[in-house]
Every structure is written in structure tokens, then in C-alpha cells.
Structure 1
Amino acid sequence: MKSTNKLSFYLSRMAARGYTAAQVLAGTSLSAERIHSDAFRANPQQYRQVILNMIELTDDPYLGIALGAEFKISDLGVLGYAALSAATLGQAREVFTKYYSLNEQIFTSINHISDGRWWSEIRDSYMLGGDALRFAVEEFISRTIELTGSITNKPFPILEIFLTYPAPDDLSAYRKRFNCPLHFNQPRNIVVFDINCLKDPVSLANAEVFKLCERQCQLLATKSEEDDLLANRIRNYLVKNPGKFPTLEEMAEHLNIGARTLRRRLVRENVTFQQILDDTRRELAIQYLKYTTLTPKQIGFMLGYSSVSNFRRAFKNWTDKKLSDFREGSQPTQSAQSPQPQ
């Protein structure tokens, strides 16, 4: 019961609309065969290109909402069945969080509870930017509605949505799908839920099935970690935790291994911890410059540099270009560095 990776899901839904894999994957250097392989993982550029291809092919600015509504619990494999057999929506959420590595994510979320409301901030860790970000945010919210509704067999209300991008000319698709107050041009992308919904019972709750499925999730997650290169796990951690660049010792502690073991295993993978840090910093710097309006000082801070001059020198060494020259002519998107909406 393997989950469907995100690009495989996109290919399937676009095929139902009459589009070929070649059309959807144009400009990514990917093939359908590679995407369907167990070890496949798309990078941020490939995600962005596929999303933009789909929007252009369909000429549908609300495609993210539609695809989110087409996502089924079975697309999550055994993780979906674990959620479907949980006692409550809260327990289903806990298993999703615990085994997040089994569910492909292009966002990170920061959650907190305030005044009986569950605030979930959607962070664009892949720096999709522009139309691709809008698509991904709307798909994520629409998919959340679909999955929670299928688990509890009742509507899942959204209380409010805050979005960083401008309001479209036609809001009918938003009102129909989300049915809540919408706030555009906001500092951050935030979805507000009723915390009491976590107490909702799951319609097909079964304690024995849940235990079995959770055990299978645990085995799959362990196997995934064992099969994955350690360098990839470190890169994924750095991408999904912007601003956090741990020392080798801190990374080893996060991975529950010794620092000497971490060095030794990376040597076997023909890479050093410093090379992983530098490569990830370079990639994130390029994404921040192309798809945000963050200043060089802000970007340098997020990449762990003590001064903007150190960041400028590092970027020049990476790309042989000045920061200003690289950013010139780009189409930046709204910065995410702003306070919580009130």
C-alpha cells in the first residue's frame, strides 16, 4: 500500500483531462517511468515547472482547488488507512505528523492554538513563488478539506484564510470550496480551523486496524530512512527548516547517531558535511533571490551568515556573479517576513 507521489498524482489527473505525461513534464528532464519509481524525489525546480505547465495547459487559474478536491485518502497508501481507522480526527492528525516522511510535502507548517482557534501557517520551503505558490497553497487547503471530510464523513469547516497574493477577479471558486472569510495581500499564508474539530470521531474507526496500519507506517518510515542516503536526509532537513544550519554535532544528534559515525557515513557517500551545507545554501540563496523580495541582509541571516559581506563573497564564489547582477530582471514575489495577521 504505497502512497502516490505528488507528480504521479498530477500525471494521473492531467491524463484524465486529456494531457500527456510529456506535456506535463516539459522542461523538467523527467519521464513518467522515472517518476513512478520508488526512489524518485522531485526537486523544487521540477515541482515549479510542472505546476506552471499544468496551469498553462489547462488555462485554469483555479486548478489547484480542483486537484485538491480530487485527492483521495487511498492516494496516501497505508498512512491514509491509518488515518481512516483512527479514533478521532486529532489522532489521525497525530499519525500524519508522526509519519510525515511517508507523505510527500512541499510545505512546512507552523501551528499554534489561540482563542479556541487552530492557526496553521503554510511556509513555502521550496520557494515556489508566483503562480506556482498560489496553486500549491490552494491545492493544499482544498486537499485538507477533502481528506478530513472523507475521514470524518462530515464537512470540515475553515474559519478564515489569509493569503499573501492579490485577490483574483473572480472569487466564486474560492467561496464555493472554502466558504469562509478570505484575506488577500497578507503577510503570510495562514489557515484557521476550529480546534474542536480535532475531537470529531472518525467514521470507520477501528482500534485493531489502526494499530496494524501504524505499525506498517513505522516499518515503512524506518526502511525509507535506511534506504535513503544520509546526505539526502540532511539536505531535506535543511530545506524544510529555513534559517537552521546546525553544526555537524547538532545534526548528528538530530539523526540519533554519533558525530564520528556521521562523518564516516558521509565519507562512504563521497561527500562532506560542509559540502552539503554549501550546496544547500547556494540553492536556497538562488531561490530566495529569484522568488522573494528578501534583502541580501535577510537572506544572509537566513542562511546562517554573520554578516551580509560574508554572504556576498560566498555567492560570488558560487556563481561568479554579484547579488545585484543575479537578481536584476527577476520577478520577485511578496516577502514572507512580516508579522502575524490580526
Structure 2
Amino acid sequence: MDGGISLASTIPFKGVKRSCSLNEQNSADMDADMAGGQLGGNRIVFYLARMRARGFSSQEVLSGTGLTEEQIQGFFLGSSAVYRQIISNMIRLTGNEFIGVELGAEFKISDFGVLGYASLSSSTLRQSRRVLAQYCLLNQHIIRPVSTITEKLWLVEILEIHPLDNLIAFAVEEYVSRAMELAFHLTNRYFPVLEMRVTYDAPSDLSVYQERFNCPIYFNQKKNVIRFDPDHIDDPISLANPEVFRICEQQCQLISSKISKRDSLERKVRDMLISRPGNFPPVDDMADLLAIKPRTLRRQLQAEGISYQQILDETRRDLALQYLEYTALTPKEIGFLLGYNDVSNFRRAFRSWTGSKLSDYR
């Protein structure tokens, strides 16, 4: 296994409080979340709170984004540039390249809002995972976890919604650390990671990985893939409550529907494309994904003054520019990620989108 380093330490992670505090969840918190219509936890608000606990102001964390703390309250989805800037700021301010590991360990079920309570009242970890995955886009703004679960295998591939370049390590570390912490608090059982395969270089100091993940890890791999123990997928949730789950899931559906209705169809199509990296389906397939007829999709987009092909081209253009700016990928690799098997076709398309050659951007 090239690029692999096997880690086997049993040191407990100091940043994690090994307690069952969620057994003392205050129902008033749940009522407040539901009354406020907060479906998914606001990730940036979470970052500001955790950085404030470390002595850093909101202004410092938001530096370079053009945003204020007041602007990001409630349901807020920032651009990819906003998330990249905030993550870079947190790493710079703390001087801690492993801040993602710590933040993941500090994430609580309540930080998911009503969706967290749906997860907390699920019957098993499998059901909890399903409901979180169903509303993934509302909580995962820079990555998209894709699970493969069989009787003997549980793999999660971490896909970049937007190119992260050197910040991918933060995203992977935060995701895995958070998954471990949430599963532990949901089930009151230790939740092991069996193996990690990541695309980035090995850090100079592996002690944080040893302390937190305690599993074999292989660096410089082609994909970011995490292997969990399938024997834990049906672990019972300690606070399982079918009636509470039903109410919370209904509330999730209601709030999600309200959010969906206020978005234009153009926005929904763009969000669908961004949430499925490397997948640019024909219009009929997109209509199926949105549960509408192709004719309806075309007609509604026309009424909004845009076509499906325009959305495809603009999304590909924006992603191409981000890949060129934030990664060292070759034009052939970028073209493949954007659905072009022939790099010459990608070059022609890029010139039609921007009026410039690829080399002008590098």
C-alpha cells in the first residue's frame, strides 16, 4: 500500500469529553430550534463560537470575507470563497494545522438544529445516518460524503463540492473527527475508524492522528476514503424515540420545503450540480433528480430567463476557474472532472466561456 503509514495508538484524544451529556438534553432547546425554523446548524456560527472560546473575535475569523456576524445569522449558505477564507483564517489565527480535528471533536448534535434532534431520536445509527444524509447539502457546504454500505463494508468517500487544494486536509479531518464524536454520543459506544486513505501529504507530526483516529492511514492516495466498522451501523441510539423522530422529521421536511420554495428553479439546478461533483447529467436526468418532468424543467427555466445548457456552462466555467486558481490539477484532469473526456474539447469550451485560453489563467 504505497504512501501508507500505519498508526496504532490507544491514547485518548484530550480534546474530547468522554461523557454522556446528551442524555441531559433540555427539551426547551429542541422547542426553541423548532420554533425558530432552524433545520440545519449554521456552520459559520459554529466556527465563530468555537474560535471565540479560543480568544478570537468574529471580525478576525471573518476577515477577508466582506461579512459581518449579523449577516450570517439564521439559515446562511456562504460561497465557496467564504468557507475557504474562514478556514484559512482559523488555521492562521490558531497556528494549528490540525484545528479541523479539534473542531470536529467539539461538534454537538444540537449544532445540527432540528435535524440533530431527528438524529438523536432515531432508532439506530443507520437511521440517523440516513436522515443526516438526506439533508446533507444543508450542513455540508464544502464536501459531500458518499457512503457505500454492505454487510462487510462501510466506506465513505469524501468529495469536494468546491476545490479546496491544501484545505482538503482540514475538511477530511473535521469530518472524520465529527463522525466519531457524534456516533459516540448517539450510541454511548466507542466508534472506531478502521482505515483512512487521503489525497494529501503526511503531516510532519503524526501524533494528533495517532491520538484521535488510531487507525492505519495512507497518504497521497487518489481519493479520500474512510472505512468504518459495518458492525456498528445498526448500533441502537441511546435516546431513541419513534414519536419524537416522526415529529422532528416532519419538521425537517416542512422547513426544507419552505427553503426550497423560496429558491428559484435555477438555484435548485445549480445546487444539484454542485452537490454532485463530476456529474453533469442531461436535462432529462436532471428533471428526474428534481422530481419534475423535463418539459416542466425547460419551461420554468425559460420563464426565469435561462436555459439548462446555460446553467451547465456557467457551472462548469466557475468550477474550472476555481480548479485553476486553487489546485495544481492539469487541464486534462480538470476537463475530466467537468465531464470532458477529450482535453481539446475542454480547451475549446473554456475559451468560449471566458474568451481566454487556459494558459492565460496560469
Same fold (TM over 0.5): yes
How far apart are 1:115 and its partner, in Å? Answer: 7.6
Q: Is the 8 A contact 2:147 2:155 kept in 1?
A: yes
Matched, 1:140 2:175: yes
Which residue of 1 is the match for residue 42 of structure 2?
5
Matches within 5 A, 1:305-324: 305=340, 307-324=342-359
- Deviation larger for 141-150 or 307-316: 307-316
The whole-number CA distance in structure 1 between the counterparts of 2:215 and 2:85 is 31
Asked if structure 2 preserves the Cα contact closer than 8 Å seen for 1:5 and 1:104, the reply is no
From 104, 110, 115, the equivalent of 1:79 is 115
Aligned with 1:108: secondary structure?
strand
Q: Alpha-carbon deviations, 1:145-202, whole Å to 9, x = none?
A: 1111111112111111112112212111111111112222222211111101012111
SS of the aligned residue for 1:191 comes to strand
CA distance in 1, matches of 2:152, 2:133: 21
CA contact (8 A) 1:263 1:273 kept: yes
Q: 1:47-88 CA distances to partner (integer Å, 9 max, x unpaired)?
A: 111100111111111100011111110011111111111111
Displacement of 1:282 in angstroms is: 0.6
SS of the residue 1:160 aligns to: strand
- In the other structure, the counterpart of 2:256 is 221
The structural deviation recorded for 1:306 is: 5.8
CA contact (8 A) 1:296 1:308 kept: yes
Within a 5 Å distance, the mapping from 1:99-178 to structure 2 comes to 99-113=135-149, 116-130=152-166, 132-178=167-213
1:52 aligned to 63, 74, 88, which one? 88
Cα pair 2:163 2:322 within 8 Å, conserved: yes
Deviation at 1:114, TM superposition (A): 6.4
- Identify the match of residue 31 of structure 1 among 59, 63, 68: 68
Question: What CA distance in whole angstroms lies between the structure 1 residues aligned with 2:212 and 2:255?
Answer: 34
1:232 matched to 2:263: no
2:95 corresponds to 1:66: no
Paired residues of 1:99 and 1:218 also in contact (CA < 8 A)? no
Match for 1:100: what amino acid? Answer: C
1:17 corresponds, among 46, 49, 54, to 54
Give the equivalent residue in structure 1 for 2:276.
Answer: 241
Amino acid at match of 1:323: L
Residue 261 (structure 1) shift: 2.6
CA, structure 1 residues 184+104, in 2 after alignment: closer, same or farther (shift >3 Å)? Answer: closer
State the Cα RMSD in Å. 1.9
Q: Distance between the aligned counterparts of 2:282 and 2:197, measured in 1?
A: 35
Question: Quick check: 2:121–2:242 contact (8 Å CA) kept in 1?
Answer: yes
**What is residue 296 of structure 1 aligned with on the other side?**
331
Give yes or no for contact 2:164–2:327 (8 Å, CA) kept in 1: no
Consecutive unaligned residues of structure 1, counting only runs of 5 or more, are 328-342
CA distances 1:205-227 after superposition (whole Å, capped 9, x unpaired): 11111111111112122222112
Aligned CA distance change for structure 1 residues 266 and 237 (closer, same or farther; 3 Å): same
Report 1:85-96 matches (<5 A). 85-96=121-132
SS of the residue aligned with 1:253?
A: helix
Distance 1:162 1:114 in 2: 19
Aligned-residue offset at 1:140:
0.7
**Amino acid paired to 1:259:** P
SS in 2 for 1:164: coil
Distance 1:90 1:108 in 2: 18
Bigger mean CA offset, 192-201 vs 292-301: 292-301
**Deviation of the 1:269 alpha carbon:** 3.3
Report SS of the residue matched to 1:112.
strand
Residue deviations 1:217-265, cap 9 Å, x none?
A: 1212222211222212111111122232222332222212223332333
Please tell me the residue identity of whatever aligns with 1:209: V
Letter in structure 2 aligned against 1:311: F
Instruction: Measure the CA separation in 2 of the matches of 1:306 and 1:168.
Output: 34
Q: TM-score, normalised by structure 1?
A: 0.89
Alignment counterpart, residue 318 of structure 2, candidates 283, 291, 311: 283
- Alpha-carbon distance in 2 for matches of 1:29, 1:42: 11
What is the CA–CA distance in structure 2 between the aligned matches of 1:114 and 1:183, rounded to whole Å?
Answer: 23
Deviating 4+ runs (over 6 angstroms): none
- Between the aligned partners of 1:220 and 1:123, the Cα distance in structure 2 is 26
Q: Which residue of 1 aligns with 2:299?
A: 264
Secondary structure at the counterpart of residue 201 of structure 2: coil
Between Structure 1 and Structure 2, how many residues are aligned? Answer: 325
The residue type paired with residue 24 of structure 1 is V
